[in-house]
Amino acid sequence: VTVVTAYKQLAAEGFVVLRPGAGTFVADLPLLPTPRDLSARALSPWAQRALALSVANGKPRHVQIDFGFGRTFPQHFPYDTWRKLLARYLSTDDVMLARYGSPAGFQPLRVALAAHLRRVRGVNCAPEQVIIVSGVQQAIDIIARLLIRPGDEVLVETPGYMEAYNLLRVYGAVLHGLPVDDEGFPVERIPPESAARLAFVTPANQFPHGGTLTLERRLWLLAWARRADAYILEDDYDGELRYDGHSATALQGIDDAGRVIYLGTFSKVLFPALRLAYVVLPTTLIPPFLATKRLIDRGSPTLTQAAIGDFMAEGYFDRHLHQLRETYGRRRALLATGLQQVLGERVHFSAVAAGLHIMVQLPTNADEAQLIQRAAEQFSLGLYPAAPYHLQPGAPPAILLGFSGVREEDIAPGVAQLAQLLTEG
């Protein structure tokens, strides 16, 4: 019975043909085009650029001590509280889940965020300017749709946040990279003849080099934006993770001409799988931004926004940030002093105590890729290259050492292994 039923089902769907008296035959079906035929003939130029620029996720390596960037320990997140807050909104009589949310985001979260950003980052904003997005990456996507025409020049930092850069490129932007120093984006090197009307910067803690944009450079950059009728994308991805108590106000907070688009994310301070971030817009950009957000996804998921709103309003967020600053600050201090004591003059890194990693400039004769490979093979030690963050090949050798996901007791042995590798290399 089973076999006969299976044959009947195959015949009903057209995969086989029953010829009474002769038997059952595989149907003569047209071949489907291979994916290669499809991409050559049907994909848009946008998709072809996206494919060309896509970065494959490397296979995770199993290492003993892992200085991976952006890692965290799940035990640092208050899951019990989070579960309780989510459960509040999961009752069957809550109408929230039966409706589409606003494309601008869940209003109580926008109110809580506006207050938080004013207080903690000096951002000058009303809740109406705060729009919730599905990651900083989506905010950049929408901004690119709004502001970039193919061939437009965009000023960026190098090394810099390649995820954003590749997206801007797919929209046709031509990137002009200015090499950063320990004080961030060298604004005085913007060519006077530059036609750029957009700049992407990480003023609080330059990614990935480290370092804070000086006040003089901030004022210079704002004056440039006003003169050039340009917008500045301020990526404040880890602005809350400063460990020396001297957090500079966000650039947005000293902009009085509506030139700064401020970006912040929950990926670093809560967890990346949330896919929730926020943008603070100059008022002129709110209508086109919201029209685009509505068209592409009708708004970010309401349930998790509601839980974060309560998490902030009820004081859990501040407590969590405080704890992260203590835990990560301790690890950063251990790593920085370890590097100074063991490697001294042989390496250089930004002194600013912020973020989740340290970018270490190696001796100029070191071979970055080879060092990383030897670290994995010899010690099962996870080190990560700086090269992929540079716009041009041939940058001085450097590695990224993430400290947020490494155990305190592993930091000194990891630094000792790095020192041995540098001595042998």
Ligand X SMILES: Cc1ncc(COP(=O)(O)O)c(C=O)c1O
Residues that bind ligand X (CB under 6 A): 70, 135-137, 161, 202, 207, 235, 237, 265, 267, 272, 277
Instruction: Give the Cα separation of 120 and 117 in Å (integer).
Output: 5
Task: Please identify, using beta-carbon distances, which residue of 16 and 263 lies nearer to ligand X.
Answer: 263
CB of 163 to ligand X, least distance (A): 7
Task: Please identify, using beta-carbon distances, which residue of 103 and 208 lies nearer to ligand X.
Answer: 208
| Residues in Cβ contact with 128 at an 8 Å cutoff, skipping those fewer than 6 apart | 104, 110, 283, 286
Task: Please identify, using beta-carbon distances, which residue of 207 and 403 lies nearer to ligand X.
Answer: 207
Q: What 3-state DSSP class applies to 80? A: helix
CB of 7 to ligand X, least distance (A): 50
CB of 270 to ligand X, least distance (A): 11
CB of 121 to ligand X, least distance (A): 15
CB of 165 to ligand X, least distance (A): 10
Give the relative orientation of helices 45-53 and 35-42 as an angle to the nearest 10 degrees.
130
Instruction: Give the Cα separation of 24 and 7 in Å (integer).
Output: 8
CB of 176 to ligand X, least distance (A): 19
Say if residues 18 and 11 touch (Cβ distance below 8 Å). yes
Distances (CA, A) of 46 to 129, 168, 174, 190: 30, 11, 14, 29
Task: Please identify, using beta-carbon distances, which residue of 124 and 202 lies nearer to ligand X.
Answer: 202
Residue nearest to ligand X (CB): 135
Task: Please identify, using beta-carbon distances, which residue of 70 and 122 lies nearer to ligand X.
Answer: 70
Instruction: Give the Cα separation of 330 and 325 in Å (integer).
Output: 8
Q: What is the largest CA-CA distance in the chain?
A: 90
Instruction: Give the Cα separation of 279 and 339 in Å (integer).
Output: 36
Task: Please identify, using beta-carbon distances, which residue of 16 and 354 lies nearer to ligand X.
Answer: 354
